[in-house]
Amino acid sequence: MITYEEHRLRSLVDEGRWIDLLGAYRQARAAAVALDLANGGPVDGDPADGDLTGSDLTGSDPADRRRTVATAIAASAAQSRAGIATAALGHLIAFAAPPEVAARLFDADGGPGTAAGVADHDAGPLWEVLATRHTWRRLAPLLGPPPVRRLVAQTRVLLGEDLSRGAEPDPEGVPLLLEPWESVGRAEGMPVREYLRQGGSRSALLTLPASREGLARVELPEPGVRLPGQPATRALAELAGWARTVCVRGPAAGAAAQLAPGPLVTGGYLPFALAWPALVQAGIADRAHGAAHGRLALWRVLTAMTGVQRPESADRAEVRALVARMRCFTWDDPADRLRHLHLALEDPATGLSWAVSGSEEV
């Protein structure tokens, strides 16, 4: 049964009345937030960035602090659920509206609860939908919130745009132009989803190994000695939260031996450029995340492997040198499900290797 509201929205779409559709989106999102909070929605999220500051808590007693934190968490959770409730309309506006209208999805000028956040998604995050539709030159003057600007810019870079002279520097120093190995990897498999007007998306399932072609039967050595507490291991675990990670002293095959199903595997070496697409996609298993999240997370892994503690302090020349000398080993696991990643990364200069291995249904 088609409701009056659905019929009205379809009429607005047919007539190209995008400002009215934006108003309907904002009204519905604000109403969903207010209703959720009025009903005492479950506290199942984390405070959004910027919800709490030191001044919010300083000088308050423990009971006040608990109430402040609980209120922030409830508000964040309400925003998240409101984003889900209005995701389909937001997707349509991000996809089809003129950029001058679509970019206003993220503006707070409509009042509390009306603006889409970076986690609002349907088939994928709304900012990524928008980024696939227009160039940075069109979008840059229109986008306000810094987190949205950053993710849109990184998406445009992944789509092949050179923003090294046309955008503000990335706060972590991630290049605004694809490195050579990223360009090769992009040609092998595009991690950015292809979105459809009426909702949904298409994307390649990028796995490692993608097939057994080029692999051979390999006997792995004894597992390397684990080195706990390595920053790069934590960064790799954050990239692929559904997989196991380990760092060892020794070659890539010794790291693989820590996670492989047995000493005999079907495996082989490959250039880092061919591993890049699957690593980027590993970071976007959640539909609220886009390919920009995967690229940023992978750069954190690489900078941590160079020994830098803070990504913004990294020397990009060192990262390039690391990738140039890195040895990458992949292997097959007979128990693999649809999404899988089995990769060991060896830095011959330090004698350290990292491995990441896991599989899951999509």
145 and 32 co-located in one domain: yes
150 and 292 co-located in one domain: no
Among left, alpha and beta (phi > 0; psi -120 to 50; other), residue 50 is left
Write down the pLDDT at residue 3.
Answer: 59
- With respect to residue 81, please indicate whether it lies within any of the assigned structural domains: yes
173 and 220 co-located in one domain: no
- With respect to residue 241, please indicate whether it lies within any of the assigned structural domains: yes
Is residue 74 over pLDDT 80? no
162 and 291 co-located in one domain: no
For 127, the enclosing helix (H) or strand (E) is helix 126-131
Give the pLDDT band of residue 77 (cuts 50, 70, 90).
low
Is residue 326 over pLDDT 80? yes
> For all residues of the chain together, what is the average pLDDT?
87
Give the pLDDT band of residue 151 (cuts 50, 70, 90).
very high
69 and 128 co-located in one domain: yes
Write down the pLDDT at residue 362.
Answer: 64
164 and 221 co-located in one domain: no
More confident residue, 287 or 177: 177
Is residue 318 over pLDDT 90? yes
User: What does the alpha-carbon distance between residue 297 and residue 292 come to, in Å, rounded to a whole number?
Assistant: 8
- With respect to residue 206, please indicate whether it lies within any of the assigned structural domains: no
Crossing angle for the helix pair 291-305 and 316-325, nearest 10 degrees?
90
- With respect to residue 200, please indicate whether it lies within any of the assigned structural domains: no
What single letter denotes the amino acid at residue 280?
V
276 and 330 co-located in one domain: yes
Per the structure, how many domains does the chain have? 2
- With respect to residue 195, please indicate whether it lies within any of the assigned structural domains: no
- With respect to residue 199, please indicate whether it lies within any of the assigned structural domains: no
297 and 226 co-located in one domain: yes
DSSP 8-state code for residue 170: P
Crossing angle for the helix pair 4-14 and 18-38, nearest 10 degrees?
150
Residue ending a domain, among 177, 202, 226, is 177
230 and 94 co-located in one domain: no
Give the pLDDT band of residue 143 (cuts 50, 70, 90).
very high
150 and 221 co-located in one domain: no
Residue 36, Cβ density class (10 Å: 0-12 exposed, 13-18 middle, ≥19 buried)? buried
Residue ending a domain, among 177, 203, 233, is 177
Task: Sheet containing 225-226: give its strands across.
Answer: 216-219, 264-270, 327-331, 339-347, 352-360, 244-249, 225-226
65 and 161 co-located in one domain: yes
Q: What are the tens digits of pLDDT across the range 212-221?
A: 888 999 999 9
- With respect to residue 264, please indicate whether it lies within any of the assigned structural domains: yes
Nearest CA among 210, 268, 279 for reference residue 243: 279
Q: What range does the domain containing 318 cover?
A: 216-360
- With respect to residue 347, please indicate whether it lies within any of the assigned structural domains: yes
Give me the phi and psi of 248, to 5 degrees please. Answer: -135, 160
Determine the 3-state secondary structure of 347 from DSSP. strand
Is residue 50 over pLDDT 50? no
Secondary structure string (H, E, C) spanning 254-323:
HHHHHHCCCCEEEEEEECHHHHHHHHHHHCCCCCCCCHHHHHHHHHHHHHHHCCCCCHHHCCHHHHHHHH
Crossing angle for the helix pair 291-305 and 146-158, nearest 10 degrees?
90
More confident residue, 17 or 35: 17
Beta strands in the chain (DSSP E): 194-195, 201-202, 216-219, 225-226, 244-249, 264-270, 327-331, 339-347, 352-360
164 and 290 co-located in one domain: no
